[in-house]
Amino acid sequence: MTEIRNDSGVPLKPVYVAEDHGGEEPPPGSFPYTRGIHRDMYRGRLWTMRQYAGFGTAAESNQRYQFLLKRGQTGLSVAFDLPTQIGYDSDDPMANGEVGKVGVAIDSLEDMEVLLKDIPLDMVSTSMTINATAAMLLLLYQLVAEKQGCPPEKITGTVQNDILKEYAARGTYIFPPVPSMRLVTDLFAYCQTELPNWNTISISGYHIREAGSTAAEEVALTLSHAVAYVEAALAAGLTVDDFAPRISFFFAAHMDFFEEVAKFRAARRIWARVMRDRFAAKDEKSQALRFHTQTGGVTLTAQQPLNNVVRTALEAMSAVLGGTQSLHTNAYDEALGLPSQNAAELALRTQQVIGHETSVPQVADPLGGSYYVESLTDRVEEEALAIMAEIDELGGAVRCIETGWTQRRIADSAYRFQTRVEAGERVVVGVNKYANDGEDKVEITKVGPRHQVAQSRALKRLRAGRDQAVVARRLSDIERAARGTDNLMPPLKAALADYVTIGECCVVLRKVWGEYRPPEIV
């Protein structure tokens, strides 16, 4: 009989029995949290439904947030455009053609005020997918919250702030790894005293998986990056149980349904033991892996896009069965462009149907005890631990990125998967099987050049109205801190409060630290 393998290349048996896994796990809410970090999981409260959105100008994105909140979304998730992500103002020549296209354009406090207009930040938690400029975007958010009168302890949410995966898989880096890691740990230290309930990092496996990794590689690379952040924070003088409870994670949910459930369970188990045994963390919150999930962007197809509704529903269900703390469901038209309003609403409704109509949330870890799922959990854990050990032997996560080892590993897995698709061994419905001859008609949301024109005009007005001596002094303070060892967050906050732009701050930091140039990978 022909051997059957899943998307990660794991051979699958036709039937699994009790002997195929390592034994019964402790109940949910108990170390090592394989079965979930809370005893009752979703019985008391569903996961946060946090739809990722943002495009064009701050005013347009604000309208989309208001629309989603009125339809039952329970948390915000902000997408920023590429210039914002890599530290260029909208009127910079480097931003030409990209303003507002893959997210909202935020240049200054003025834009953030518009973005969050009439949204009560003491009642809504916000996730911001931002990395190289995470410190600045968090400070802008804090400044708006303070203007609303929101107390520090009620400013809640997450900045992704995961720069290592940018070097490994995504590419929106600015500075070299060492100063970038300093910004990460400066943010850790700042939030410890100033924003006690803010999640200071969301270490992302999502982009690693989207770039082509297997499930086990997603877990291993993500947790190895997390180890590097913990080590950097400890080296900066922080105490593990002071910052680790605010660490969170971000994973993908792809189409291999049962392996995805197993992946989430394995990740929790590995992290709990790493924190307890490697870093001597005593606080249970330091040991319990909390994560956000997004359904797979690369699993969406431009062909027969309505099929994506089914894909997203199945991926969302695997995330819920795997015990996610928050979830974004992709819109069916995202392989073609920005989500239309109707598609975004249907994506949110997908979560609501799972949450309110299926009874799945009424039982914690409902697939626990499944011979197949338990065996896959063991298998993912075994493979992930072997990869993590290899990373340690090679000098750690940062070193593996600097040498290109991580990038090569992801690229090799992506190549193997794509080869199977092109050979027809891995079916993608509507693409390499059951394809249509005609064209599928779907409304496509487009962002045109008017957004860049509008942002550039607004920046011109903003700069004309500022006290240039104050701006110069604020930028000088940033440069002095960057050349020294003081925490960069206070001088950055002072500058942003006086409407210095993100691009202007980054010009100074580029001057001091330079820009990162990736190694050539053969």
Question: What is the predicted pLDDT for the residue at 451?
Answer: 81
Q: What are the CA-CA distances from residue 263 to residues 45, 209, 216, 248 (Å)?
A: 23, 12, 7, 16
Question: What is the predicted pLDDT for the residue at 371?
Answer: 94
Lowest average pLDDT, out of 71-80, 126-135, 141-150, 253-262, goes to 71-80
Tens digit of pLDDT for each residue in 30-45? 999 999 999 999 998 9
Is the pLDDT score of 13 beyond 60? yes
Question: What is the predicted pLDDT for the residue at 161?
Answer: 94
- Select from 51, 36, 84 the least CA-distant residue to 330: 51
Question: What is the predicted pLDDT for the residue at 519?
Answer: 76
Q: Which amino acid is at 296?
A: G
Q: What are the CA-CA distances from residue 259 to residues 49, 228, 262, 384, 510 (Å)?
A: 23, 26, 5, 13, 42
Three-class DSSP category at 57 = coil
Q: Which residue carries 């569903």 as its tokens?
A: 46
Task: Name the band, by pLDDT with cuts 50, 70 and 90, for residue 52.
Answer: confident
Q: What are the CA-CA distances from residue 112 to residues 1, 135, 154, 284, 303 (Å)?
A: 60, 14, 18, 35, 37
Tens digit of pLDDT for each residue in 401-460? 999 999 999 999 999 999 999 999 999 999 999 998 766 677 777 777 788 898 999 999
Question: What is the predicted pLDDT for the residue at 176?
Answer: 94
Three-class DSSP category at 74 = coil
Task: Name the band, by pLDDT with cuts 50, 70 and 90, for residue 1.
Answer: low
Is the pLDDT score of 262 beyond 60? yes
* DSSP codes of every residue in 154-179: G--EEE----HHIIIII----S-HHH
User: What are the structural domains, with CATH classification, of the chain?
Assistant: 24-422 (3.20.20.240), 451-513 (no CATH)
The token duo for 31 is 């170390």
Question: Stretch 342-365: mean pLDDT, rounded?
Answer: 95
Three-class DSSP category at 71 = coil
Question: Stretch 459-475: mean pLDDT, rounded?
Answer: 96
Q: Which amino acid is at 436?
A: N
Question: What is the predicted pLDDT for the residue at 439?
Answer: 65
Pairwise CA distance, residues 454 & 461, whole Å: 11
What is the overall mean pLDDT for the chain? 94
- Percent over 70 (pLDDT), the chain: 99
Question: What is the predicted pLDDT for the residue at 398?
Answer: 93
Q: Which amino acid is at 455?
A: Q
Q: Give this prediction's pTM.
A: 0.91
Pairwise CA distance, residues 460 & 465, whole Å: 9
Question: Stretch 155-173: mean pLDDT, rounded?
Answer: 93
Is the pLDDT score of 522 beyond 60? no
Task: Name the band, by pLDDT with cuts 50, 70 and 90, for residue 296.
Answer: very high
Question: What is the predicted pLDDT for the residue at 482?
Answer: 97
Three-class DSSP category at 353 = helix
Is the pLDDT score of 521 beyond 80? no
3-state secondary structure 378-395: HHHHHHHHHHHHHHHHCC
Is the pLDDT score of 507 beyond 90? yes
What are the backbone dihedrals phi and psi of residue 171, each rounded to the nearest 5 degrees, phi first? 100, 0
Is the pLDDT score of 77 beyond 70? yes
Tens digit of pLDDT for each residue in 300-332? 999 999 999 999 999 999 999 999 999 999 999
| Higher-pLDDT residue of 126, 518 | 126
